[in-house]
Amino acid sequence: MSTAAKTPISPVLPTYARADISFERGEGAWLIASNGDRYLDFGAGVAVNALGHAHPKLIEALTGQAQKVWHVSNLYQVEGQTKLAEKLISLTFADTVFFTNSGAEALEASIKMARKYHAASGNPERYELITFEGAFHGRTLATIAAGGQEKYLDGFGPRMPGFVQVPLNDIEAVKAAIGDNTAGFLIEPIQGEGGIREASKDFIKALRKLADEHGLLLVFDEVQSGVGRTGHLFAYMDLGVVPDIMASAKGIGGGFPLGACLATAEAAKGMTPGTHGSTYGGNPLAMAVGNAVIDEVAQPEFLEHVRRVAGRLTQGLSMLADEYPDVIETVRGRGLFLGLKCKAPNTDIQKALMAKGLLTVAAGDNVVRLLPPLIISEDEAADAVSRIESVCAALSQSREGDASGAAAT
């Protein structure tokens, strides 16, 4: 292809519809724009900034490690990896951990591990994972195929094979989809990008039972729901079910790129030297931050704080849904992993909230996600409800005006 006539394009590849705002610094749950405007951050970098902005313990951990060694590769022992892996093992179902740079990589490792498990068991034909409508597992070729959403698959060639998708919470559809090639189930306990849609406890328990009956693996995607987001260290801990493999990311790095694939020893038995790797995954800087995050979030009093503030926030939002049913259809989610199912277009509401100094994240199914840092105070939760109420009142009044105008004509 000739490069003689250049097509105009922005310096940064224009794959994001970015808001026209940049931030200069952050303080706890607040972001300060370059023009000095302050925003209450209920997006937290899409559920990443679990401890908010400029948390002193994370600054100490990162700057302390930065003065020692930044990167050595996985050709050598990385002390921080062992420490963080041992902490995660002691706190979860897992026997072993593989560290990555992102959630998509953690999912890739999970998918490869599930396939390799069956190959190592003498059943290489078992490579298909059953996934669920509305899912989002990342942006790599394998994870967009796993998510199955056409808007992410369109234009990227043949869909990677190995994924069969069925409706969420439909156990009969799951049973019908199980075949000779099935390796297991891949599910988000709570879909984030899909619109804060929950898998029911009964459905999750039924998946576990089917996995055990058919010799399949249960793989959880807790990239967004994990690390305290639901008021439990991981969402599965409130379901009465444990997975065989679990992907984690976002909150585990507190803003530093970090992901992890956790697994039982049995599920990981095929992952021998040379089967998988990462140049940067688990580097000393990421491990220093990850250890500091887990030390903070895993404390029982921290998780109790999340549940208490989440209760107040959910109560306030539910009152708004009752007061403005023409704007908010319902409130979804658990802990500080919440969504407003909207009547008005969610992107309009998101923009209106930003104009009121509240940052949120749009999601599928016309939902606005509320993903504040887990450190928010009850006063900050009440502040957010007040800003949302202001937007609801204005939109409700506008919609009433539109309805009156239509009736008059």
* pLDDT attached to residue 399: 72
**Which residues contact residue 392 at a Cβ distance below 8 angstroms, ignoring those fewer than 6 apart?**
320, 323, 324, 327, 328
**Which residues contact residue 77 at a Cβ distance below 8 angstroms, ignoring those fewer than 6 apart?**
none
* Count of alpha carbons within 13 angstroms of residue 299, beta-carbon side: 12
pTM of the shown model: 0.95
Q: Give the pair of three-digit tokens for residue 166.
A: 């069925």
5 pLDDT tier (thresholds 50, 70, 90): confident
- CB contact at 8 A, 185 and 207: yes
**Which residues contact residue 194 at a Cβ distance below 8 angstroms, ignoring those fewer than 6 apart?**
134, 135, 136, 188, 363, 364, 365
Residue 364: name the closest of 147, 171, 140 by CA: 147
Q: Give the pair of three-digit tokens for residue 263.
A: 């697994």
* pLDDT attached to residue 6: 81
400 pLDDT tier (thresholds 50, 70, 90): confident
**Strand duo 182-187 + 361-363: pairing:** unpaired
Asked whether the predicted pLDDT for residue 295 surpasses 60, the reply is yes
* pLDDT attached to residue 398: 81
Asked whether the predicted pLDDT for residue 4 surpasses 70, the reply is no
Q: How many residues does the chain have?
A: 409
**Strand duo 190-191 + 182-187: pairing:** unpaired
* pLDDT attached to residue 60: 98
What is the percentage of the chain residues whose pLDDT exceeds 90?
95
DSSP 126-163: --EEEEETT----SSHHHHHHH--HHHHTTS-SPPSSE
Asked whether the predicted pLDDT for residue 1 surpasses 80, the reply is no
**Strand duo 128-132 + 182-187: pairing:** parallel
pLDDT in tens, 310-366: 999 999 999 999 999 999 999 999 999 999 999 989 999 999 999 999 999 999 999
Distance of CA 393 to the CA centre of its chain: 30
pLDDT in tens, 20-39: 999 999 999 999 999 999 99
pLDDT in tens, 225-237: 999 999 999 999 9
| Residue 346 CB neighbour total at 10 angstroms | 23
Asked whether the predicted pLDDT for residue 2 surpasses 70, the reply is no
- Match 């996985």 to its residue by tokens: 74
Residue 119: name the closest of 7, 269, 264, 3 by CA: 269
CA-angle at 374, arms to 373 and 378, nearest 5°: 100
DSSP designation for 217: E
- Packing angle between helix 378-408 and helix 300-323, nearest 10 degrees? 20
pLDDT in tens, 254-275: 999 999 999 999 999 999 999 9
**Which residues contact residue 146 at a Cβ distance below 8 angstroms, ignoring those fewer than 6 apart?**
107, 111, 129, 131, 135, 137, 138, 163, 186
CA-angle at 248, arms to 246 and 253, nearest 5°: 160
7 pLDDT tier (thresholds 50, 70, 90): confident
Amino acid at 169: N
* pLDDT attached to residue 403: 66
* Mean of pLDDT values over 277-294: 98
- CB contact at 8 A, 57 and 375: no
- CB contact at 8 A, 67 and 384: no
* pLDDT attached to residue 409: 55
CA dihedral 245, 247, 252, 256 (to 10 degrees): 140
* pLDDT attached to residue 269: 98
Asked whether the predicted pLDDT for residue 408 surpasses 60, the reply is no
pLDDT in tens, 172-203: 999 999 999 999 999 999 999 999 999 999 99
* pLDDT attached to residue 297: 98
**Which residues contact residue 380 at a Cβ distance below 8 angstroms, ignoring those fewer than 6 apart?**
29, 40, 372
**Which residues contact residue 86 at a Cβ distance below 8 angstroms, ignoring those fewer than 6 apart?**
none
* pLDDT attached to residue 406: 59
pLDDT in tens, 80-131: 999 999 999 999 999 999 999 999 999 999 999 999 999 999 999 999 999 9
* Mean of pLDDT values over 378-394: 97
* Mean of pLDDT values over 386-400: 91
